[in-house]
């Protein structure tokens, strides 16, 4: 069965409309003329978490809020702010959550200590299970079913 030309044309237009939803930018709007500022911009955008995506940096996210945050970082860099000033500005607005690596404090201590504590607990539980099973094998004096049959 052959598809009519109209159906093929309709499918082609549908595919093109999907591509048209994302504008192709010939020039990166976040590119800075100064290479040192550009390096700082890239480092900062990889340190800040996208509040919408939650698992991505603002450099990697396509969310509208991430693009606004990238624009703000760029504007603050051009205004002459230091990296610590920019981080402080973002933390003041969004809290420590925006930092991919939050600072160590009493409020965030569990974030830093929990993986190590859970690893130690898991190792102790595994060690206890192995010891109990080896003790059970050593105490087992019953013959195997195969030995009983013969």
pLDDT in tens, 81-95: 999 999 999 999 988
Distance, CA of 91 to CA of 87 (rounded, Å):
6
pTM of the model: 0.56
- Tell me the pLDDT of the chain averaged across its residues: 81
The CA radius of gyration of the chain, in Å to the nearest whole number, is 29
Collect all residues with Cβ–Cβ distance below 8 Å to 144 and sequence separation of at least 6. none
**pLDDT classification of 21: cutoffs 50, 70, 90:** low
Among 39, 38, 48, 30, smallest CA distance to 101 is for 48
| Cβ pair 36, 48 in contact under 8 A | no
């Amino acid at each position: 069965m052959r598809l009519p030309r109209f159906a093929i044309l309709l499918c082609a237009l549908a595919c093109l409309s999907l591509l048209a939803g994302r504008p192709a930018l010939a020039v990166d709007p976040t590119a800075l003329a100064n290479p040192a500022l550009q390096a700082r911009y890239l480092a900062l955008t990889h340190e800040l978490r996208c509040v919408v995506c939650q698992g991505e940096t603002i450099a990697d996210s396509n969310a509208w809020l991430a693009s606004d945050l990238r624009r703000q970082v760029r504007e603050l860099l051009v205004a002459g702010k230091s990296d610590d000033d920019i981080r402080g500005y973002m933390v003041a607005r969004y809290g420590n959550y925006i930092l991919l690596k939050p600072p160590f404090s009493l409020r965030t201590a569990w974030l830093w200590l929990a993986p190590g504590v859970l690893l130690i607990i898991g190792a102790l539980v595994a060690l206890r299970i192995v010891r109990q099973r080896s003790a059970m094998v050593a105490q087992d004096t019953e013959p195997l079913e195969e030995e009983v049959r013969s």
